[in-house]
């Protein structure tokens, strides 16, 4: 098989923010490499997991082999399997594979179990020219060692010129629990609308930070979705004044370059035990404050911003789809994607018009 160089492989990546060149491999990241030391270790880890990042190539190859170094976050007991590579051919999911190898990583200690080397082989691809997409696992860090195609096969980058929606949020936007990256609710919503998307969901790390706002500000996006709140609930990380200040600060930074880009601020989905309790703001209070923040922006003549209650995406009646009382399962994420599509990406008032 013919192996592509690192630089050639980089031209095929989509959905990432930056690429780190390592000895013998390249690592797609969802934060800027020069700012690595600005992030705390946990945020740096989750933003290194390539949720929504895919290899996209136009080729007549019948076989494709991907060698990576993989550090996978193990699922909770009885949770759905993690670490899938989703293969799309001309926009259709045709295979979900896990490869052979890879290490498990303890997120708390960083200790590894197993060998990082993992190989995924897709064979028997349809004849003729086609667009291949490989979605990388959203619950693992991935360094690409080698991408190889059938000997003498033609290949070239396959630009995606569809409208792009950018999503930022917590683990509930990162969607580590879904059985594949393409099964997260941002991917589902974008697919139903016929759009591409970028997933900047950072598990446990959506802190309404200026760092995140700058990444979003500098990204290409035809619409921006900010699902905010749940990660500042633990230990009362933000109070009313600091919560509102952080929300407006984030929005103001994003508006520096996205002055008329449609923005949707989404409040927390239903979460048992967090609705009206805790050391700081309850989720009920956050929903009120986020709605007030959006209303304030509208009064200041921002006509391109909307508020959406997270309860419209996932409410108390859906709690049976929360195996750990916090994160939806794959069926729950699909429901969220379908509801977001219906609310914001379809109909006469859809965010992105033809």
Are residue 198 and residue 110 in the same domain, yes or no? no
Are residue 120 and residue 209 in the same domain, yes or no? no
The answer to whether the beta carbons of residues 59 and 51 sit under 8 Å apart is no
Write down the pLDDT at residue 88. Answer: 98
CA distance 88 to 125: 10
Q: What angle do CA 104, 98, 145 make, to 5 degrees?
A: 75
Q: Which of 157, 184, 214 is the last residue of a domain?
A: 157
DSSP 15: S
Are residue 122 and residue 180 in the same domain, yes or no? no
> How many structural domains compose the chain?
2
Q: Would you call 101 helix, strand, or coil by DSSP?
A: strand
CATH number at residue 94: 2.60.120.260
Are residue 124 and residue 206 in the same domain, yes or no? no
Q: Give domain status of residue 350, yes or no.
A: no
CA distance 99 to 275: 40
CB-based contacts of 236, cutoff 8 Å, min separation 6: 278, 279, 280, 281
Are residue 230 and residue 304 in the same domain, yes or no? yes
Q: Which of 157, 177, 211 is the last residue of a domain?
A: 157
Q: Give domain status of residue 349, yes or no.
A: no
Q: Give domain status of residue 315, yes or no.
A: yes
The distance of Cα 68 from the centroid of its chain, to the nearest Å, equals 20
* Tokens 């941002």 sit on residue: 186
Write down the pLDDT at residue 107. Answer: 79
> Across-strand partners of 265?
226, 307
In SS3 terms, 324-347 reads as: CCCCCCHHHHHHHHHHHHHHHCCC
End-to-end CA distance of the chain: 42
Are residue 302 and residue 177 in the same domain, yes or no? yes
Q: Which of 138, 157, 176 is the last residue of a domain?
A: 157
Are residue 144 and residue 205 in the same domain, yes or no? no
The residues of the chain scoring below 50 in pLDDT are none
Q: Give domain status of residue 332, yes or no.
A: yes
Give the range of the structural domain holding residue 109, as residue numbers without chain letter.
2-157
Are residue 90 and residue 176 in the same domain, yes or no? no
Q: How many CB atoms lie within 10 A of CB 214?
A: 19
Are residue 261 and residue 123 in the same domain, yes or no? no
Write down the pLDDT at residue 277. Answer: 81
Are residue 179 and residue 297 in the same domain, yes or no? yes
Are residue 118 and residue 33 in the same domain, yes or no? yes
The answer to whether the beta carbons of residues 270 and 284 sit under 8 Å apart is no
């Amino acid at each position: 098989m013919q192996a592509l160089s690192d630089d050639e492989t980089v031209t095929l990546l989509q959905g990432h923010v930056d690429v780190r060149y390592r000895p013998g491999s390249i690592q797609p990241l969802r934060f800027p490499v020069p700012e690595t030391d600005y992030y705390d270790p946990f945020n740096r880890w989750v933003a290194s997991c390539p949720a929504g990042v895919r290899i996209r190539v136009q080729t007549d190859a019948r076989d494709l082999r991907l060698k990576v170094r993989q550090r996978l976050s193990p699922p909770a007991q009885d949770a759905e399997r993690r670490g899938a590579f989703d293969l799309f051919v001309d926009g259709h999911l045709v295979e979900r594979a896990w490869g052979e190898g890879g290490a498990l990583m303890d997120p708390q200690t960083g200790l590894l179990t197993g060998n990082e080397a993992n190989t995924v082989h897709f064979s028997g691809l349809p004849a003729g020219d086609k667009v291949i997409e490989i979605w990388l696992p959203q619950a693992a860090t991935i360094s690409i060692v080698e991408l190889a195609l059938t000997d003498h096969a033609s290949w070239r980058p396959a630009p995606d010129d569809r409208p792009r929606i950018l999503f930022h949020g917590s683990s509930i936007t990162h969607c580590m629990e879904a059985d594949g990256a393409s099964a997260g609710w941002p991917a589902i919503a974008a697919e139903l609308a016929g759009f591409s998307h970028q997933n900047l969901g950072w598990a446990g790390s959506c802190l309404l930070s200026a760092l995140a706002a700058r990444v979003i500000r500098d990204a290409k996006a035809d619409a921006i979705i900010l699902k905010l709140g749940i990660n500042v609930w633990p230990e009362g990380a933000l109070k009313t004044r600091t919560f509102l200040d952080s929300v407006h600060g984030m929005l103001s930074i994003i508006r520096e370059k996205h002055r008329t880009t449609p923005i949707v601020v989404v409040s927390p989905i239903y979460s048992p035990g967090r609705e009206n309790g805790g050391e700081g703001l309850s989720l009920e209070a956050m929903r009120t404050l986020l709605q007030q923040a959006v209303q304030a922006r509208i009064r200041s003549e921002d006509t391109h911003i909307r508020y959406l209650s997270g309860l419209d995406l996932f409410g108390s009646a859906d709690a049976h789809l929360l195996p750990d009382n916090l994160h939806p399962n794959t069926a729950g994420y699909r429901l969220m994607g379908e509801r977001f599509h219906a609310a914001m990406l379809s109909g006469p008032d859809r965010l992105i018009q033809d």
